[in-house]
Chain A
């Protein structure tokens, strides 16, 4: 049994506490959430480690990780642009916003730009339908986005690069 990578200590402790509780296997999804939040995605190594630590079959971990849309199995770009494709946003033209991002960034939904800066995702309704169409860039919500705003938004994000680094 080789463990080439370490798990963040907070996550490790969380798994430890789950093992003490009844029905400990039921915390699998919660553990995966924590890993994704910390590392950005679920790598094969991490999934194997979770299976080992939580004492569940690897097949169950990968089964769960692939079943739920929320889990990513690939790393995302530095800026994850997520377009809400819920009903309200659809009615207000989210498809046009998506197209605009695709043309502007030159990538398709689910892909990451070669420089690793941007990735394009879709999300389910964020519950902000009244301000549709809505997108998020790294958890920050932008409302009433139009296709015309897109180049400006991307530039704005890019401009912030030196500031955040």
Chain B
């Protein structure tokens, strides 16, 4: 048996020297996002245009690289320009004409284009940007606001406030090694120097030395290679990112997801080499147990315990490990981004898991709807195999393990673990009763560990930085971070990774930037079709498994949809129930028939035919389905309706008693009318009405014939004079 440690050393050195030889450090790097969302926003054209311009310029010190999605979806396509020794600049919403501007002014001319900069608050060019760690654990004095403190001291030291910009950042992951609660951490761009200090006079010293004498205050410089350093050094000056703690997504938007070298240069495969070197699978399981990591697929089962179960209760030598990348929640895209942005980390996590439980074969079950993620995984598996990181005798350790991709085919229930296994076996994905649990009897009857993408993405990090360090992040019962896919009527839609224990308010307002058009928040939907609607009054709840369950929702896999006052709760509840009804596999009666009956009642209510008794009926039926269904799908399907009933009963009653929909969403309960004072008689609505129910001559007030109207809303949408009202 060889030596995995020296194998790794050689591998990583060869990639490092390749990097040095490539001279990239001295070049201008243009980084273009390449993920499903980026492509949808037009990043392919941007990529082509830059390539064209680079070729035309004839310069060989400009290179273009692709990267995964950072999660700042609303501002895509995003382009980063990294010039040696300068603050990295990120541009947003880039189009072909903007590419030309950036290329001329910035790449060739050396001048940032301020109006295109991501999160445009920087109209000015700052000389320095400071990002502070404002996490609760890092404060020597909980009362002071570090940002204000810094600004005060900068002023005191006669620094022009226009030259330095100060940001509140999230936890940089340094805390495990610091004296908790005694120090402050800050990072200064463009030098990317991290300082830590304990007193205000030390702060003055740093300011004097760094900004005035332009020398690094080495006494206070921290050189620990901390985990999110790379991410912070590129994105730490952007408000949307620096309040997040990027552990699992730390490479997304940073590395080329198709390059094993990029991954390895960012500590990729170091964790695997270490555990193979130590040659003690039980210890790996112990460490994962000690970290307190719980499943991110929704259930929250302790990952270490699951691994242990697969080892302790069975003598079967054939075991499997499965990565659940089915991401069924309609409205969630965390796993897609992770797979597209950093596929190697998931494969490394799986390999470590396989080693710990003694599996020789793994499967990644991916939805067919994610073609790019599949392509990136295939590439990653192939490269890992070529470099002896998968296959026989991995890193010369004697350990054999390989991975195969299996495609889903559009069935939500296949995210459920027993159904998923049937689907991998090539069968209809209908769940079965547990126990036996997959860890006892899984794929083809052998013990099988099934873990979610994000769960596995945490594994290398835990083994690299230690269970102690990991378990300091989060709350007593929920450790680490969680990624949420923020969507709906919020300003900054995208991916957000925050420590467990962050409040919903912080996510929606501090990171998400609040609601669109300054609307009022009505509810937050978490957990998708298995979760619930959390009303505005409860948004100071923290996100962790227990707190969310307590208020009738669930953590789920991370979908988070923001609803405002124009969203109807009845319609939303109906939407989710329609979804689960449609996805019910039909095996058990409560789920198949029960959800259908519930849906009928909801339809009745949204059409104005509901009766007050319906609400009690919905509750009784919902609770019955929860108790008697076979699998998790049915057991949670009534949640969106039950939580809506609990928190928004009045709105249901308005639909029933008054036959009105306050959000004006339920088409049977609204009427379109033309406001005579505003109508100019332009005839547009009459021409566009699909059922020709609008009458009126040119330049005369038009009228909608209510009995013929199908309430499609076309007239409302096309009117240029706001002359159509909904009542």
Query: B156-164, B178-186, B422-430: which lies at the A interface?
Result: B422-430
Task: For chain A, residues 62 to 110, give those with C-beta under 8 angstroms from any C-beta of chain B.
Answer: 63-64, 67-71, 85-88, 90-92, 96, 99-100, 103
A51 on the interface (CB 8 Å rule)? no
Partner of A99, one of B331, B525, B712: B712
A9 on the interface (CB 8 Å rule)? no
Task: For chain A, residues 18 to 52, give those with C-beta under 8 angstroms from any C-beta of chain B.
Answer: 23, 25-30, 32-33
A86 touches B411 (CB 8 A): no
Distance, CA A123 to CA B428, complexed state (A):
20
Task: For chain A, residues 117 to 143, give those with C-beta under 8 angstroms from any C-beta of chain B.
Answer: 123-132, 134, 139, 141-143
B168 on the interface (CB 8 Å rule)? no
A125 touches B330 (CB 8 A): yes
B40 touches A134 (CB 8 A): yes
A155 on the interface (CB 8 Å rule)? no
A-B contacts at CB below 8 angstroms, number:
155
B331 touches A125 (CB 8 A): yes
- On chain B, the residues within 8 Å of A153 by CB distance are none
Given known pairs A91-B563, A131-B73, the reply for A123 and B369 (CB within 8 Å) is: yes
B487 touches A129 (CB 8 A): yes
Partner of A70, one of B74, B410, B559: B410
B718 on the interface (CB 8 Å rule)? yes
B312 on the interface (CB 8 Å rule)? no
B197 on the interface (CB 8 Å rule)? no
A91 touches B561 (CB 8 A): yes
- On chain B, the residues within 8 Å of A96 by CB distance are 712-713, 717
B36 touches A126 (CB 8 A): yes
Report the minimal beta-carbon distance from A89 to chain B, rounded to whole angstroms.
8
- On chain B, the residues within 8 Å of A91 by CB distance are 487-489, 561, 563, 567, 572
B456 on the interface (CB 8 Å rule)? no
Residue of B nearest to A104 (CB): B690
B561 touches A30 (CB 8 A): no
B423 touches A29 (CB 8 A): yes
A148 touches B718 (CB 8 A): yes
- On chain B, the residues within 8 Å of A146 by CB distance are 717
A130 touches B37 (CB 8 A): yes
Report the minimal beta-carbon distance from A46 to chain B, rounded to whole angstroms.
16
B24 on the interface (CB 8 Å rule)? no
A30 touches B406 (CB 8 A): yes
- On chain A, the residues within 8 Å of B371 by CB distance are 139
A154 on the interface (CB 8 Å rule)? no
Task: For chain B, residues 422 to 454, give those with C-beta under 8 angstroms from any C-beta of chain A.
Answer: 423-430, 444
B625 on the interface (CB 8 Å rule)? no
B575 touches A90 (CB 8 A): yes
A130 touches B493 (CB 8 A): yes
Distance, CA A90 to CA B575, complexed state (A):
8
B428 touches A67 (CB 8 A): yes
B712 touches A63 (CB 8 A): no
A157 on the interface (CB 8 Å rule)? no
A130 touches B494 (CB 8 A): yes
Report the minimal beta-carbon distance from B400 to chain A, rounded to whole angstroms.
15
Residue of B nearest to A54 (CB): B426
Given known pairs A27-B426, A131-B40, A141-B36, the reply for A124 and B409 (CB within 8 Å) is: no
A147 on the interface (CB 8 Å rule)? yes
A23 touches B406 (CB 8 A): no
B331 touches A86 (CB 8 A): yes
B336 on the interface (CB 8 Å rule)? yes
Report the minimal beta-carbon distance from B77 to chain A, rounded to whole angstroms.
11
Report the minimal beta-carbon distance from A30 to chain B, rounded to whole angstroms.
6
Given known pairs A91-B563, A130-B74, A131-B41, the reply for A125 and B488 (CB within 8 Å) is: no
B333 on the interface (CB 8 Å rule)? yes
Distance, CA A146 to CA B486, complexed state (A):
21
- On chain A, the residues within 8 Å of B330 by CB distance are 85-87, 124-125
- On chain A, the residues within 8 Å of B329 by CB distance are 87, 125
Distance, CA A125 to CA B713, complexed state (A):
25
B407 on the interface (CB 8 Å rule)? yes
A7 on the interface (CB 8 Å rule)? no
- On chain B, the residues within 8 Å of A126 by CB distance are 36, 369
B370 on the interface (CB 8 Å rule)? yes
Residue of B nearest to A131 (CB): B40
B345 on the interface (CB 8 Å rule)? no
Give the residue among A70, A88, A92, A143 with the most B Cβ atoms within 10 A: A88
Task: For chain B, residues 355 to 371, give those with C-beta under 8 angstroms from any C-beta of chain A.
Answer: 368-371
Residue pairs across A and B with Cβ atoms less than 8 A apart, 13 shown, are: A26-B406, A28-B427, A69-B411, A70-B368, A87-B487, A91-B572, A129-B332, A130-B486, A131-B493, A132-B487, A141-B40, A146-B717, A148-B717
4 shortest interchain CB distances as A-B pairs: A130-B73, A87-B331, A70-B410, A68-B409
* Extra pairs beyond A86-B331, A100-B712, A127-B337 (11, CB < 8 Å): A23-B444, A33-B368, A69-B409, A69-B410, A91-B489, A103-B712, A124-B369, A127-B327, A128-B36, A131-B73, A143-B41
